[in-house]
Amino acid sequence: MRSEIVLPEPGAERVPWRSVLMPLLVYGFFIVVLWFLFQQVEHQKGSRGGILALGALGLFRYGWLTVNLVRSYIYRFVAFPRMRRAADAIQQPYPEQVHFIIPTFKEKPWVTKEMLISVTREAASIPSLVRLYITTGGPDEDVIVRDVLAKCPPNPRLSVYMMRQAGKRYGMAYALRAAARTNLGEPSSVVILMDGDTLLGNGILRKSLPFFALRPKVGGITTNNIAVTNGPQWYRDWYTLRFSLRNRYMCSTSLSGKVLTLTGRFSFIRSEIALSDEFIERVEKDSIDDWVYGRIEFKTGDDKSTWFTLLKNGWEMLYLPDTYIYCLENAGDKPFRESVGKMRRWFGNMLRNNGRALALGWNKVGFFAWFSLLDQRISMWTSLVLPTGVLILIFTESPFVVVYFALWVLYTRLIYLCALVVEGHRMSNWDLPLLLYQQWVGSFIKIQTFSDLRRQKWGAARGDARNMRDRFGALQTTLWFGIFGLIVALLVLS
């Protein structure tokens, strides 16, 4: 059975400089216009204290960005190619068994079909015994799965187990226990956790599995992502930009043998970890204790639970930038609301795990990864300092402050995006406003989410019904923003 969709081929152009031409022309025009306006504005001396404070903040933020850029380049173009050559040279690179845990719930039939075609194709490419544990949402999905598998080429090394449990976490735990029973204590086996709307890139198993033989201390591996998205152009470009940024920071942290998440869309875990009681119990039922809301049980974020288990037990983790999965994403009827809902879910999962990961200390986590976790809390505030300061100055000094601000934003973000192009990102005209959207709106959502970590939802719909604790969360957000605005005002006006 063959796939009926055409997927983008990665790596056709290592540095897509041609994609830079049109955005540079468009934003270059705005820079020229703003520079002309800048020359007409009467320049005023700013507060020395405010300038020093903002300068120190800028030095920290752009210094940290530079560190991540350099580390990303070193990993991508120096360290990882060496590892790739060593992995390709291993004589016995594959484990005895590979277990796929695939929860799927009410996916469109064509999505399930394409997912299974990609999985069976890759399963046939390696000599290992491959077992698929597919948890579905109902009998209709069972029929689709069986129909697709019946039409795939026969593979005597492939076994399929159909099962059903209410809820993704319970379904994954049920499948993991089934895998533990069939694994028969095989120490070299690997477990793959993936979503039902993920398609595997060509050669992903052949390229990834040898790293477990190469690096015995590696407990988990995650791969590069390519978005296959429907909806308006800006939404598709937003996903592409997100994954390019993800690639940068994954490369940077992987240089230290850690990553900040083992992506739920597709990740590899050693069986001795994934089939252990601790791992399965945390996947099934994970929680944190909050000083306001008490025990918060995780509904979403199973990938953060799996990641924390490896982090807590001192395992190394790797990111493979040259292996790909395809993520099928739907913009829905309201793309903007969908993007906000996704950020709220992503950032909520991140922040619910951030505190307990930081509490492990840098001796356990490693200093660079630990500081990256700390920066997740710092950056949601520092990203808003400049726009907040400009708003204050517009009302207290002069509306022409916006000219300085716009020039600075255009100049710095264009350099930021050109650095992404060197890493393989194909720039679009939407990228600059989308980067600001990701940074500023994303920071606002992080702060709002941090005020009430209980609120969890899968889609863009509203979460739990509002009650007194919800109102307290809203009040806490308002209070934090009020204090933040006061501090910024003191900085820029003192």
Q: What is the mean pLDDT of residues 102-126?
A: 93
In DSSP terms, 266 is beta-bridged to 194
Span 405-464, pLDDT tens digits: 888 899 899 999 989 988 888 899 999 999 999 999 999 999 988 888 887 765 554 444
Which residue matches tokens 């194709």? 121
Q: What is the mean pLDDT of residues 180-193?
A: 89
Span 358-416, pLDDT tens digits: 999 999 999 999 999 999 999 999 999 989 988 988 888 778 788 888 888 998 999 99
Burial of 467 (0-12, 13-18, 19+ CB in 10 A): exposed
319, 223 in Cβ contact below 8 A? yes
What is the number of residues in the chain?
494
* Model pLDDT, residue 12: 47
Amino acid at 407: L
* Element spanning 323, H or E: strand 316-329
Q: Quote the percentage of the chain above a pLDDT of 90.
A: 61
Backbone φ and ψ for 332, nearest 5 degrees, come out as 70, -170
Cα gap 301→298, rounded to integer Å: 7
Cα gap 170→165, rounded to integer Å: 6
pLDDT at 25 over 90: no
* Model pLDDT, residue 190: 97
Predicted confidence band of residue 474 (pLDDT cuts 50, 70, 90):
confident
Sheet containing 190-194: give its strands across: 158-163, 129-135, 97-103, 190-194, 266-270, 218-229, 316-329, 198-200
Backbone φ and ψ for 329, nearest 5 degrees, come out as -120, 140
* Model pLDDT, residue 13: 47
Q: Where are the domains of the chain?
A: 17-70+378-493, 89-335
Q: Is the model more confident about 449 or about 19?
A: 449
Amino acid at 157: R
Q: What is the mean pLDDT of residues 49-76?
A: 87
Amino acid at 426: R
298, 183 in Cβ contact below 8 A? no
Helix axes 233-254, 401-422, angle to 10 degrees: 70
Q: What is the mean pLDDT of residues 146-160?
A: 92
Q: Is the model more confident about 119 or about 11?
A: 119
* Model pLDDT, residue 267: 98
* Element spanning 436, H or E: helix 431-436
Residues ≥6 apart with Cβ < 8 Å to 263: 222, 223, 225, 303
Span 233-291, pLDDT tens digits: 999 999 999 999 999 999 999 999 999 999 999 999 999 999 999 999 999 999 998 87
* Model pLDDT, residue 29: 82
| CATH tag for 89-335 (out of 3.90.550.10, 3.40.309.10, 3.30.930.10, 2.60.40.1150) | 3.90.550.10
* Model pLDDT, residue 31: 83
Cα gap 377→375, rounded to integer Å: 5
Mean pLDDT across the chain: 89
* Model pLDDT, residue 42: 62
